[in-house]
Each structure stands twice: as C-alpha cells, then as structure tokens.
A and B are shown apart, each in its own frame.
Chain A
C-alpha cells in the first residue's frame, strides 16, 4: 500500500462540464473533510478544489477503493453523485504524488502556466484541512514543502513573470509607471468587455477611484456602481469613489485620471488632440492610456506628449505574447527545481523510517559514551576503565531499550502518520538531524 496518494481530475483530463460537477466550494470541501475525519479510511487528507482541478491527497489507512470512497463523500455533500467515469481520474502514489503537488504549487499544472492564484488556493486548501484536523505529520510537512517549492519557482524562474491577459497587461504597464496603484483614479471610457475586465483588475490591484464615461449616462452610472461595489470598499463606493459622466465631460475628467482605459465602438477617435492636448500637457504627473478599441479611440499624437504613456491593443497583445513565451522558456528550469525538491523530500521521508533513526540513535549514544570515557577514563586504571566501559554501555542499552522497542513496534504496526510523528519526535529530542548532516558532510 502506498504511503501517500492523490486522486483527482483536472483541465487536462476532464471537460468543464465534468469538473463543474466535482468542484467544491469552501463550505462543501469542509464538510467532505469532516466526513472523512469521522471515518478511518484515510489517515490524513487534503482537498484541493479550484475551477481547473479537484483532487484529494491522502494517506491511506485501509485497502478500500479511495476513488469510490471520495466520490461517495462528494455525493453526500452535493446531494447527487457526480457524473464522472473512473477513467477521467488520475492517481499518483508516493514520489509521483509528491511531484504532482509540487508541480501544482509551482503552477506547472495550471491552464495558464505560471498563473499566480494557485499557490493561494493550495494554502486555502491546507487551512481547511488543518481546521478539519485531517492533516498530520506527513501532509503538514508535504504541504509546507510545496509552499516553498512554489515560492522558489516564482522567485528563481520567469514562470510567473509578466501578465498573461490583456487586462493584466494594463496593470503590468501601470506598475512600471506607478509604484503603487493606491490613491489612483481609473477613467473607463466606453463599456467594452475587455476594458471592463481591465478596469476590474486595476481596481482590484489597489486603484480606489473610478470614473466611467459613456455615450449613455445611464449605462455609465450602472457600470460605475457595479464595478465600484464589486471591487472597491463599499463605503468608499457609496461616498464618491465611483462617478459617471457623459463622453463630452472627458476633457474635464481626464485631468483627474491616472489610468485611462478606452473601449468604445466609435468610428472616430473619442480622445482627440484638439480637445485634450493642452489638458494633458499641463496636468501634473504621468497618465497611462490603454486604448483597447478597434478602430482606435485615442488620437495617436497624444502619445507624443511627455507625460502620456499610450498603448493600443496590439501593444498589449505583443506584451502578453512575449510574457507567455518567457514563461514557456522557463518551464524546464521550473521542472528541474520541482525534481530536485522531490528528491529532497524523498530523502527526508526515508530518514523518517524507523530503521535509520534507530541506527542514528545508537550511534549518538555510542558517541556520547566514548566522549565521556575519553574524558574521565584517564583517572582510572586499565581494569577499572574496562569495567567503566561495560557499565556505561549497559546503561546506554537500558536507556535506549524502550524508545527502540517503541520505534520497532511503530515500524511494524502503526499508520505512517503515527510513525512519522513518533520518529520526528525522537529525532528532535536527540537532535539526530544535525548528527545526520554532520555525517553526510
């Protein structure tokens, strides 16, 4: 029987209709975990459910079919049995399960490789499992190790670098001009879907004031209200954080804006040189204008003003494609980090077996015995010294007898988590990890 396994589905194995049936909200996941804890089929369990994957990491206690068992619990919580055949589920055991979680945390298994949300989702899943008390020594160690792997890949590779969507590219550009988006004002001209998404991301990234300019004032008011209530603090939104104006008010409002996103269906430029050149030239501070409309909404000559940074949809598209290519190029580097960490975790796990720990413990006591005999033995005659050696040897054996018997018993009978916890405690009590490192070096 494997010590650690994962079963699940992801965007690589199942269509969205199937994934929907197995997707679990936080409260549902908590209920599934509570059900698992009440029974003795899994010794430990961690449930990760995102829009792209639903999977359970577990330390099995019995030989029961884990997939059927898991689907039963999901069915109990959801009220219906998910319409998913066994063939779409993957199962990985031991080192492969470790590798799977590390790849997920590093965003190597994501639909958009390098996306940033997954590590937070793994952390949320772990928090739920800790609250449900379904994790113990093995999954605790594994999950924290996975966090570190995710962070290492993020900092040591370009896998998460840059934006991967037009909306995120607008934020990316803004962050090259402004160190923080807090206190910044976003002017959204028109109500195109991409512009709306970009405004949403900008507001979600800290910008705290929104002005929507639209041909129809009513639509502008509605959109300003919706976006502000969705992304800005509700109280601020009610005060004056969101404002709606007609297109004719742009010359007055653009002076207040730090970020402008335009996306109207107009055939002619909406932001013209004649109306805005003077306003933009005399305003204090830089303004980022992102023109997502086709045909373009912004007179290209405005981009020649010193404090105006003007980008159109092609520029953003070029930035996104470049970022995705950079991410793709760094996949081998990220995979190498994952592989290295899988090896390290494997070595850690092997060191938590009873046999090497027993050997280390015996060596540790023998070293202490030798050190003290060498130190004090000179005060005795050769015959007394021999007796002293025999006496201390017998004493060490006696001291070790109970812990060694316990470790051997755990090795034979106990669940992996129980054994790991006990071995870990013994190693910490006697500082055996340091001894092992000394021996290795």
Chain B
C-alpha cells in the first residue's frame, strides 16, 4: 500500500499536467472547444481514489494539515470544474481553473513526498465533530474563492483588453464579460458565506481540543480575518455602492491571493 501511495503521489501532478496541456490546446489552438472530456472525469476519479486509499492507510481523513488540504483543494477545484463543464459543454476556461488544480496538487505532492504513507501526529480534537464542521465549509470556501479569483482575473484581462482595444488571443477565446463577471461574483458570495461559517466554528473547535494557540493558528486567524474583511467590503460595496464588476473582480483576485498566502504561511509553520 505504501508503494502504491508513493506512486499515486507522483502520478497525480503528472495527470493534472497532461490535463493542463489538453485544455491549453483547447484554449490556444481552439481544439474541441465544446467537447466533454472523459479524461477529466478519470483524473478526478483517480484523485478521489488516492485520497480514500490514503485515508484508509493512515487511519484518518487526510485533511489535518495544509499540505493534505491542498490536495483536497486540487480535487475539489477539478471536481467542481468537471461539473461546470458537463453542465455547460464549454471547455474554454478550463485551462485557468486546472492550472490552479495542478499547482495545488504539485505543491501537496512535493511536500508530502517521502511521508505520504506515514500518519502525522493528530490530536483527537482535530478529527472530531467540530473539526469536520470547520474543515468542510473551509474547503468549500477555499474552492469557491479559488474560482472567484480565477474568473475575476479572466474578467479583468478581458475588460482591460477591450478597453485598450487589444484584439489578441484572449479577445478571441474568452467568454463575454457578462458571463465572467457573474461567475466571479457568485463564487465570491458562496466562498464568503462558507468562510463565515468556518470562522464562526473555529473558536468552538479550539475550545474543544481541536488545537492550541500556536503561531500557525494565530497566522490563520489573522489572514482569515483579513480575507473575510476584504470580501465583506466587496459584498457591501456591490450591494450598497453598486460597485462595478471590475472592482469586484479586482477584490476577488486580491482576496484569493490573501487566501493563498494564508495557506502557504500556515503550511510553512506546520
């Protein structure tokens, strides 16, 4: 089993890389733009199987540290995108979302290399009910905010291209602004709501043996609060100040960078 997990840990980033090349060809060479991709479903299924096997082998759900969570995020990002693609039959934005999934999985695989089959030291509180109530919405929030960041970035690229009269590859390939803008906005809203739940549960988790006030936890609280405030400002600005989609998209990108910094710092401190 340990060998199988080690192979899987190396194989997953490669599978995502092949996906990335495939979707890159769709975006840049306009190949099979409306075709559904069975390969994407295969990669998602393989990733899910890897996580289940690893969970069975180490004896707990592999979501106890930042690098394990990063792998789950890769799966969630690819899985949600697979669902969106199956529903819309449009592969054009896949390369951007799957780039994120690849980076998540690459980071996770590199940092888990050599100890993928070894369980980490996990306190009982970290895998209890409060942990689940914190981790599940946090994962949904990370995924949704990743989507908001990607679609926000695409919106900004197209918006600037149109304003500067640049008729390049992005002009040809990207969906219209009033598709990208609402996608970024709805993803941001979903991410904000689930992030709020995760933050609200965090003190209860800490109070019930889910961890101690270490530097890692403090860094997560600070970065999470900053990100939450950034998103809250965007939502209020949109509702009360009728902020334009370009500003919301800028905040979605900035917020995503903060969230990524949160994950990185928390990972480095673990």
Contact = CB atoms under 8 A, between A and B. Distances in A.
Interface of A: 155-156, 158, 161-162, 173, 175-179, 284, 286, 303, 306-307, 309, 311, 315, 318-319, 322
Contact of A286 (B31, B33, B177, B179): B177
B168 to A, nearest CB: 9
A176 B158 contact: yes
B244 A307 contact: yes
B167 A179 contact: no
Contact residues on B (Cβ < 8 Å of other chain), bracket: 20 to 34
A315 B244 CA distance: 25
B167 A303 contact: no
B176 A177 contact: yes
Contacts of B172: 161-162
B185 to A, nearest CB: 13
A177 B177 contact: yes
Given A177-B176, A179-B178, 15 more contacts: A155-B33, A156-B30, A158-B30, A162-B172, A176-B158, A176-B176, A176-B177, A177-B178, A178-B176, A178-B177, A178-B178, A303-B163, A306-B247, A309-B162, A309-B163
B171 interface: yes
Contacts of B174: 176
A179 B165 contact: no
Contacts of A311: 165
B178 A315 contact: no
B110 to A, nearest CB: 38
Contacts of A309: 162-163
B161 to A, nearest CB: 9
B246 interface: yes
A303 B164 CA distance: 10
B163 A176 contact: no
Contacts of B158: 176
A309 B163 CA distance: 6
Given A158-B30, A322-B167, A179 B175 contact: yes
A161 B172 CA distance: 9
Nearest to B168: A322
Nearest to A322: B167
Contacts of A155: 33
5 contacts: A175-B176, A177-B176, A178-B177, A179-B178, A315-B165
Contacts of B246: 306
A286 B178 contact: yes
Given A161-B172, A306-B244, A307-B244, A176 B165 contact: no
Nearest to B180: A179
Contacts of B167: 318-319, 322
The 9 A-B residue pairs whose C-beta atoms are closest, nearest first, are A179-B176, A179-B179, A315-B165, A177-B177, A306-B244, A309-B162, A179-B178, A319-B167, A176-B176
A303 B175 CA distance: 22
A309 B165 CA distance: 9
Nearest to A288: B162
Nearest to B162: A309
Of B162, B165, B172, B178, chain A has the most CB atoms within 10 Å of the CB of B165
Interface string B241-270: 010101100000000000000000000000
A232 to B, nearest CB: 22
A324 to B, nearest CB: 12
A156 B30 CA distance: 7
Nearest to B247: A306
A284 B181 CA distance: 14
Nearest to A309: B162
A151 B113 CA distance: 48
Nearest to A285: B178
Nearest to A158: B30
A114 B211 CA distance: 65
Interface in B126-182: 158, 162-163, 165, 167, 171-172, 174-179
Most buried by B among A176, A177, A284, A306: A176
Contacts of B242: 284
B55 to A, nearest CB: 41
A375 to B, nearest CB: 37
Give the residue among B30, B162, B242 with the most A Cβ atoms within 10 A.
B162
A305 to B, nearest CB: 10
B162 A176 contact: yes
B171 A176 contact: yes
A166 to B, nearest CB: 14
A162 to B, nearest CB: 8
Contacts of B171: 176
A286 B182 CA distance: 13
Contacts of A319: 167
Contacts of B176: 175-179
A155 B242 CA distance: 39
Contacts of B163: 303, 309
A318 B167 CA distance: 9
Contacts of B30: 156, 158
A248 B255 CA distance: 45
A213 B246 CA distance: 30
B228 to A, nearest CB: 26
A156 B177 CA distance: 25
A176 B166 CA distance: 12
Nearest to B161: A176
A362 B162 CA distance: 65
A188 to B, nearest CB: 21
Residue in B31, B178, B246 with the greatest tally of chain A CB atoms within 10 Å: B178
A286 B155 CA distance: 13
Contacts of A286: 177-178
Contacts of A175: 176
Contacts of B247: 306
Contacts of A176: 158, 162, 171, 174, 176-177
Given A161-B172, A286-B177, A322-B167, A177 B162 contact: yes
B166 to A, nearest CB: 10
A286 B162 CA distance: 12
B112 to A, nearest CB: 41
A290 to B, nearest CB: 12
A162 B30 CA distance: 14
A40 B201 CA distance: 85
B158 to A, nearest CB: 7
B49 to A, nearest CB: 33
